């Protein structure tokens, strides 16, 4: 149903709570584990010789397709960062390793899948992936400030092929060159995407479709342990639910709103543990319970 192209990494993370080394991470990992609660998904990525069998087993346990994860000579992409109690992550070290030469190739068994998720990778690679597919119904793209600053022309070329853009508030203003959010959204829609999701981090998210928009707060949690991967998990929850709902229904604003809430819910589970620790444990009952609690919270 869904093809996810992105990074698989080992992360060393220090927060105000503790420090953990070489945890499974990367955009494809967080996205796929979250999305697997709703839909079938295949990962296209690269790992090194050091990639642990127990991490492959996590993907298998979640029924995630791993045939297109290549194991190359060398080490898996490694990121090390520290989080201040209030503020964004500060990168201490980035070791691309086998990810440096990542050039995703889409096998025949995946080319006709209806939904393609482009994780936060070089926009040139994103565009090449889209060209390899057999006209997917939905192309979803994530990006970051680095690509907006360094490869904007390539990103705009990719954007012309994108149906849904997932981006944070700072990035959409950078990409549109407009500090007013509503004007920024209109400008981005003119670049290609017809649906835009703006992430506000701890303040929630906003959905923009046609002339409608939908804003929600973040799902409250008792304790934030580690914010790593929350954005990728949000994307996974959104697209996973979207894929499960759209296959039997025409696109509607109601489906998009529920997908946004499920993205929000999945991100809330992620931040309650280090890395993917919490996402490993959750089940459909836990997701449904938190969805119903959130629905009561925002209803009046």
d(CA 76, CA 95): 9
- pLDDT higher than threshold 90 for residue 85: no
27-37 confidence digits (pLDDT tens): 999 999 999 99
Report pLDDT digits (tens) over 235-283.
Answer: 999 999 999 999 767 899 999 999 999 999 999 999 999 999 999 999 9
- Burial 177-211, CB ≥16 within 10 A → b, else e: ebeebeebbeebbebbbebbbbbebeebbbbbbee
Q: How many CB atoms lie within 10 A of CB 112?
A: 11
Structural domains present in the chain: 2-298 (3.40.1190.20)
pLDDT band at 167 (very low <50, low <70, confident <90, very high): very high
Cross-strand partners of 2: 41, 115
Q: In what order do the strands lie in the sheet with 78-82?
A: 19-25, 9-14, 78-82, 90-95
Q: What is the C-alpha to C-alpha distance for residues 293 and 189, in angstroms, rounded to an integer?
A: 33
pTM of the model: 0.95
- Give dist(CA 195, CA 198) in Å, integer: 10
Confidence of residue 51 (pLDDT cuts 50, 70, 90): very high
pLDDT score, position 278:
94
Cα–Cα distance measured from residue 229 to residue 147, given in angstroms and rounded to the nearest whole number: 18
Residue 174: pLDDT band (50, 70, 90) is: very high
pLDDT of 201: 87
Average pLDDT, the chain: 95
Distance of CA 300 to the CA centre of its chain: 31
Name the nearest CA neighbour of 102 among 71, 147, 56, 131: 71
Give the tens place of pLDDT for each residue, 200-232: 988 999 999 999 999 999 999 999 999 999 999
Residue 164 · residue 195 · CB < 8 Å: yes
Report the alpha-carbon distance of residue 79 to residue 25 in Å, rounded: 9
Q: What is the pLDDT of residues 94-119, one digit of tens each?
A: 999 999 999 999 999 999 999 999 99
Are 204 and 216 contacting, i.e. CB atoms less than 8 angstroms apart? yes
% pLDDT > 70, the chain? 100
**89 pLDDT more than 90:** no
Tokens encoding 45: 């990525």
């Amino acid at each position: 149903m869904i093809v996810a192209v992105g990074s698989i990494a080992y992360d060393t993370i220090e927060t105000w709570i503790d420090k953990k080394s070489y945890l499974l991470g990367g955009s494809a990992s967080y996205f796929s584990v979250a999305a697997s609660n709703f839909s079938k998904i295949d990962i296209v990525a690269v790992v090194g010789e050091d990639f642990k069998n127990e991490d492959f087993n996590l993907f298998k346990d979640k029924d995630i397709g791993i045939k297109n994860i290549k194991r190359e000579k060398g080490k898996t992409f490694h990121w090390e960062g520290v989080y201040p109690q209030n503020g964004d992550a500060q990168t201490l070290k980035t070791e691309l390793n086998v990810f440096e030469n990542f050039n995703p190739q889409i096998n025949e068994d995946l080319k006709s899948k209806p939904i393609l998720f482009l994780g936060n990778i070089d926009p040139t690679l994103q565009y090449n992936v889209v060209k390899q597919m057999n006209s997917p119904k939905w192309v979803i793209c994530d990006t970051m400030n680095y690509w907006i600053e360094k490869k904007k022309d390539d990103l705009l070329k990719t954007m012309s092929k994108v149906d849904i853009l997932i981006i944070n508030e700072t990035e959409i203003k950078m990409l549109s060159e407009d500090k007013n959010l509503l004007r920024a959204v209109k400008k981005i829609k003119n670049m290609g995407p017809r649906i835009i999701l703006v992430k506000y981090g701890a303040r929630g998210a906003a959905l923009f479709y046609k002339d409608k928009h939908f804003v929600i707060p973040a799902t409250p949690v008792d304790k934030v342990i580690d914010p790593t991967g929350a954005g990728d998990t949000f994307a996974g929850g959104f697209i996973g639910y979207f894929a499960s709902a759209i296959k039997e229904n025409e696109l509607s604003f109601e489906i998009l709103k529920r997908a946004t809430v499920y993205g929000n819910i999945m991100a809330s589970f992620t931040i309650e543990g280090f890395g993917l620790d919490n996402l490993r444990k959750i089940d459909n009952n836990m997701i449904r319970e938190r969805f119903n609690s959130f629905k009561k919270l925002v209803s009046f």
